[in-house]
Amino acid sequence: MTSLDAMVADPLALITENARLAGPIIGVLAFAESLIVVGMFVPAIALMIAIGGLIAAGVLDPIPIVVWAVIGSTLGDWISYLLGRWIGPSIYRRWPLCNHRLAVARARLFFRRHGFISVFLGRFFGPVRATIPLVAGVMQMPNRSFQLANVTSAIIWVPALLAPGYLAGSSLSFEALKGWQVIGLGVGLLVGPFLFAGIIARFVMKRPPANAERSATQSPR
């Protein structure tokens, strides 16, 4: 068994053996995955896909899983943002970020180029995932704008990670879907393209404020 397999198998065993506490456990894992630096070492994608399979198998209740995961990931990003806002640019030179300069540089460049939307899309990109919220805080991004991107991205990110495992585990044909599942699928197919188009349009058209761009290019003091 590889180290990654062990990192996934141990939390899954804990969750399976304590199904009633699965929601809080997954919330803590999502929280850790969203924290600066710590998130680089939490195999969130593999865990969430596996948890989706457990939901499909009827081992876990999906509602508390989704709720706790959204709460945990939102809080993790918020704390990273607050740390950046509180400490400022000097945090880049402190341990442990001084040992992850490439990840920080990628996140700063991503935020400089795309501003608000970088916080939303950053949740879905591994290279900048755990550092974008902190960079947003250092850049003094308004709290309201950050929370809008933080919460909405978490609401989409959690089901998106659970879906592959759930679909693989359930192996449902369209004819076997229940009524509420048909409705949900229909709404998803209707809303999905518009949501995707809106995200891409905002991503392409968004230009960061001039002062934010200058701040991002300045070396931390």
Q: What is the pLDDT of residue 195?
A: 54
Query: Is the pLDDT score of 207 beyond 50?
Result: no
CA 74, CA 155: separation in Å to the nearest integer? 9
The region, left, alpha or beta by phi > 0 then psi within -120 to 50, assigned to residue 88 is left
pLDDT digits (tens, 9 = 90+) for 99-154: 888 888 888 988 988 888 888 888 887 667 778 999 999 999 999 999 999 999 89
Going by pLDDT thresholds of 50, 70 and 90, the confidence category of residue 10 is confident
Q: CB count, 10 Å around CB of 105? A: 14
For residue 179, with 0-12 CB atoms within 10 Å meaning exposed, 13-18 middle and 19 or more buried, which class applies? exposed
> What mean pLDDT do residues 160-164 have?
84
Own/partner long-range contacts of 194-200 (Cβ < 8 Å, ≥24 apart) = 199/117, 199/120, 199/121
Q: Tell me the pLDDT tens digit for each residue of 27-82.
A: 998 898 888 877 767 777 778 888 888 888 888 899 999 999 999 999 999 999 99
